[in-house]
Chains A and B, each alone.
Chain A
């Protein structure tokens, strides 16, 4: 039973087809990677899943629910979280508040409870704070808990970005180039986190990444996009031996 079924998705902006007839199946519990040259439509695909774009044609189904026309906040409450490629953090808030914001839907007190801040609001805040602390512990962000996110270094901010998506307690985590612009150690760190997220927290991971070495190492399934079309899919070995993929990356001889 497929977790997330993307069937015949086409996304066009005027005459430009960002995606055409894309079919994908995201199986539960696996790391699925989406790769492709620049402008292949990888981020567009993630935007379609997370609700920032709505596909022109085709449908995206998650557990029999149609995501094609859902807005991002609806998608996030269904259990699909997303980390952005270009840091989209709340830079005026601390790391703690950034993560607490991702608990927005789980903070169930009413406005008047909040204004008085007594009883329920206080209790629910403390409970969610505990959840957030677990994530901070998991992502090893303890030293930066109270720092303003805007003042942190790029590598840490990327980690906060992943942590924030994880705080939504998702079943599917969409990671958009979590390793872009990092050095080898930071990359290794993130790879370790991605694998831990999959194994320990049993989250399905969808990874968009340019570093082919990383992708080949950790992915269970790979989809290769080029000019908005799926040109190859399967296990890393299958993809690596697919002539179309080799053409797209290296060029025809």
Chain B
């Protein structure tokens, strides 16, 4: 090991365990810790309106969902256009508990962490089931199979009176150790909870990717014939990839249900599935940090476009629908531009910046 653990100038490993570290230098670790402290600490200093807090919460939930989608699409190479439906499965798991035992039952309000995990497991079960066609189908055909799941989900929710035919099912307010989480701190409370979940799941994914449970995903993406010859069951691996994606989506769905204190079918439509896909692509498929860039970029764009179109609507009084037109337009434009000019996503910019700053001020 190098003497200077702060700025390593090369590779000084003396055991294989040292190479397994998440952070190679103290500097990496310190920067990351500072970043986390900042994420947790800033709400204590600044106060922002509930509107923006909600945007932040939404970003974090999207990160949880995209984590699953990126594992599925980026690492395992299996296309899913039904990701919003998996998120919906999670949300409707919570909703159906509310329907059965009442929205203010103690299980819903006090044992929400259990319900969130249950929603994740439910998502995983549905994921594994929907993943079964992946045993036989590939690429575009698999995309269509998952699309059909999205359609079935929407149809099912809208026609079941148990699910209120897609209309809002209310979910009670969560309780914390200090009692019920009130209206004013609701969004802040969930910001912290979702942030913790994102950090825990993020580290979980980071660890999985270092082990056989992550490598086998990439193996079936690159060459499932060879994967078979190397002693892993490619079919099972694909089903496992779908289950994993379903788990993350389920957790995201349950968080969505608690955050909005209600579940309605229109948050889990095909449009949302495509949006998740866009976040995964813009962030960078098959990379860990892309999981975080994508949702931030897309949601930030949404916010900016909204403000811009408000402004535009102010001047262009004869065209009041500018806002509704601009949002899908910018969304589509961003996806097309990324696919054309940076198919590896924002994660690639991050890589370039990192390798540049590593050597700065020297050129090589």
Contacts and interface: CB of A to CB of B under 8 A. Distances in A.
Contacts of A73: 228-234
B221 interface: yes
What bracket does the count of chain B residues touching chain A fall in?
Answer: 20 to 34
Nearest to A84: B226
A126 B16 CA distance: 5
Given A117-B210, A125-B211, A104 B286 contact: no
Interface stretch (B101-109, B212-220, B293-301): B212-220
A103 B17 CA distance: 17
A97 B215 contact: yes
A125 B210 contact: yes
A217 interface: no
A114 interface: yes
Contact of A90 (B19, B223, B231, B286): B223
B240 to A, nearest CB: 9
A72 interface: yes
Contacts of B20: 117, 122, 125-126
B226 A89 contact: yes
Q: Do most interface residues of chain B lie in helix, strand or loop, or is the interface mixed?
A: helix
B222 to A, nearest CB: 4
B4 interface: no
B329 interface: no
Contacts of A114: 207-208, 211-214
A77 B233 CA distance: 11
B219 A129 contact: no
Contacts of A22: none
Contact of A104 (B15, B16, B216, B223): B216
A159 interface: no
Interface stretch (A37-45, A105-113, A195-203): A105-113
B210 A91 contact: no
A103 B226 CA distance: 13
Interface string B229-256: 1111110000000000000000000000
A25 interface: no
Nearest to A111: B213
Given A122-B17, A126-B20, A76 B219 contact: no
A77 B215 contact: no
A91 B223 CA distance: 8
B126 to A, nearest CB: 19
B203 to A, nearest CB: 9
B189 to A, nearest CB: 26
A126 B17 contact: yes
B204 interface: yes
A50 B229 CA distance: 8
Interface of A: 50, 52, 71-73, 76-77, 81-82, 84, 88-93, 97, 100-105, 107, 109, 111, 114-117, 121-122, 125-126, 129-130, 133, 164, 168
16 contacts: A52-B228, A73-B229, A73-B234, A89-B226, A90-B223, A92-B286, A93-B218, A101-B230, A103-B212, A114-B208, A121-B211, A125-B210, A126-B15, A126-B16, A126-B20, A129-B16
